[in-house]
């Protein structure tokens, strides 16, 4: 009697094969990881060689050094930090390690990038997640290309964070400072670099007033090493679409937000909390403070104390103080050269991109 064939339920064979495949993949990954750890133990890194290699890369020349940093204006100061290019140099020089990044989730209003760093020699692994909004100020979802650009920016930030957290900062912080000096150039080349960077931003529609306000300096002659590094970093961020002109130079909404917060008599803690909660969503923050003003008016029966339109923003305190002193002494001509009256006046600026980041 012929043997009857075995009946296989739909999908049963495929499920069995998938289990075997996953099992084999896990074993392969474990074997690869063990091999990396073993090799790292045989050829341990030397910190002196790591620092030497990283320093050579970071100070190779001025264009390379400029790629090593990013800058964000905050509260009248330039926050200059190491970019993903610097993180890549750290990764290469550190050795016996690897890093990876992927888009973990693209749903709702956000895209999430996740990066992992593994130090085979120390057997240390860490992951970093970065979330970025993929809707504009009106709540409309970005198109496919813009979502891709936002995902790339989030991936770069996540990768940078994982690497620079995995390698102790004490080992590379002073080398990053050396890269900043290289980026600014020496005294003879600084003036040329400054002129070139200012011309680049003027071509992008950034007025001198906007530039000086973001750098928090009274005049072009006051643009020094830190400011030149910031300009170079901003230009790189704009080219790579990691930032927009609005992110760096602000918008006309900022003045109204500052005025509304002052009318509500919020303290610094309240202002900071509101800005943190609505980070990257300037239009929503504006709607929030407007709503709070209406609530205050309804509760008290009168509108909060109005704020003059020409009230200087907190970040323009230095310019306002200079202007006040000059007005008292009557030296109007000197005031026009040392502290431009247009600095900090966002409403007179050229149109700026409204893309939310």
pLDDT of residue 22: 53
Q: Could you tell me the pTM of the whole model?
A: 0.56
Q: Kindly list the structural domains of the chain, giving each domain's residue range(s) and its CATH number in brackets, ordered by start.
A: 47-174 (3.30.390), 250-348 (no CATH)
Cα angle 328, 329, 331 (rounded to 5 degrees) comes to 115
Average pLDDT, the chain: 75
Are 80 and 123 in contact by the 8 Å Cβ rule? The answer is no
> For residues 16 and 198, which has the higher predicted lDDT (pLDDT)?
198
Q: Is the pLDDT of residue 182 over 50?
A: yes
The 10 Å Cβ neighbour count of residue 263 is 17
Q: Which of 234, 206, 184 is nearest to 71 (CA)?
A: 234
**Residue whose C-alpha is closest to residue 155's, from 207, 223, 84:** 84
What mean pLDDT comes out for the span 163-171?
Answer: 94
330 has a pLDDT exceeding 80: no
Summarised one tens digit per residue, pLDDT across range 1-20 is: 444 444 444 444 444 444 44
Q: What is the pLDDT of residue 55?
A: 94
d(CA 160, CA 172): 14
- b/e sequence 293-323, b meaning 16+ C-beta within 10 Å: beebeeeeeeebeeeeeeebbebbebbbebb
Res 16: pLDDT: 43
Low-confidence winner among 28-42, 107-121, 147-161 (lowest mean pLDDT): 28-42
Residue 274, pLDDT above cutoff 90: no
**Closest-CA residue to 350 (of 138, 216, 201):** 201
The Cβ of residue 141 has, within 10 Å, a number of other Cβ atoms equal to 12
Region 190-205: what's the mean pLDDT? Answer: 84
pLDDT, tens digit, 9 for 90 and up, residues 28-78 = 677 777 777 778 788 889 999 999 999 999 988 888 888 888 877 665 566
Q: Is 35 exposed, middle or buried (0-12, 13-18, 19+ CB in 10 A)?
A: exposed
């Amino acid at each position: 009697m012929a043997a009857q064939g075995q009946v296989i339920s739909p999908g049963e064979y495929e499920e069995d094969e998938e289990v075997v495949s996953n099992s084999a993949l896990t074993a392969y990954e474990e074997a690869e990881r063990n091999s990396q750890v073993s090799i790292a133990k045989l050829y341990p890194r030397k910190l002196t060689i790591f620092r030497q290699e990283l320093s050579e890369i970071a100070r190779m020349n001025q264009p390379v050094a400029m790629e090593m940093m990013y800058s964000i204006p905050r509260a009248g100061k330039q926050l200059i930090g190491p970019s993903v290019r610097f993180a890549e140099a750290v990764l290469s020089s550190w050795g016996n390690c690897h890093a990876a990044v992927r888009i973990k989730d693209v749903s709702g209003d956000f895209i999430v990038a996740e990066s992992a760093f593994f130090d085979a020699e120390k057997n240390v692994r860490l992951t970093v997640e970065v979330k970025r909004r993929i809707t504009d100020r009106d709540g409309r979802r970005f198109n496919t290309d813009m979502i891709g650009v936002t995902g790339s920016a989030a991936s770069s930030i996540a990768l940078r964070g994982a690497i620079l957290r995995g390698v102790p900062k004490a080992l590379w912080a002073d080398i990053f400072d050396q890269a900043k000096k290289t980026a600014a150039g020496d005294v003879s080349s600084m003036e040329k670099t400054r002129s070139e960077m200012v011309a680049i931003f003027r071509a992008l529609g950034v007025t001198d007033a906007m530039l000086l306000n973001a750098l928090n300096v009274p005049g072009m002659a006051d643009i020094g090493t830190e400011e030149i590094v910031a300009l170079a970093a901003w230009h790189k961020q704009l080219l790579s679409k990691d930032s927009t002109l609005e992110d760096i130079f602000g918008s006309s909404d900022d003045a109204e937000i500052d005025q509304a917060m002052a009318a509500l008599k919020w303290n610094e803690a309240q202002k900071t909390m509101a800005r943190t909660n609505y980070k990257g969503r300037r239009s929503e923050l504006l709607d929030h403070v407007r709503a709070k003003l209406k609530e205050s008016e309804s509760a008290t029966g009168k509108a909060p104390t109005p704020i003059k339109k020409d009230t200087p923003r907190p970040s323009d305190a230095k310019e306002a103080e200079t202007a006040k002193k000059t007005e008292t002494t009557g030296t109007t001509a000197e005031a026009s050269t040392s502290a431009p009256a247009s600095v900090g006046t966002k409403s007179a600026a050229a149109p700026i991109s409204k893309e939310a980041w």
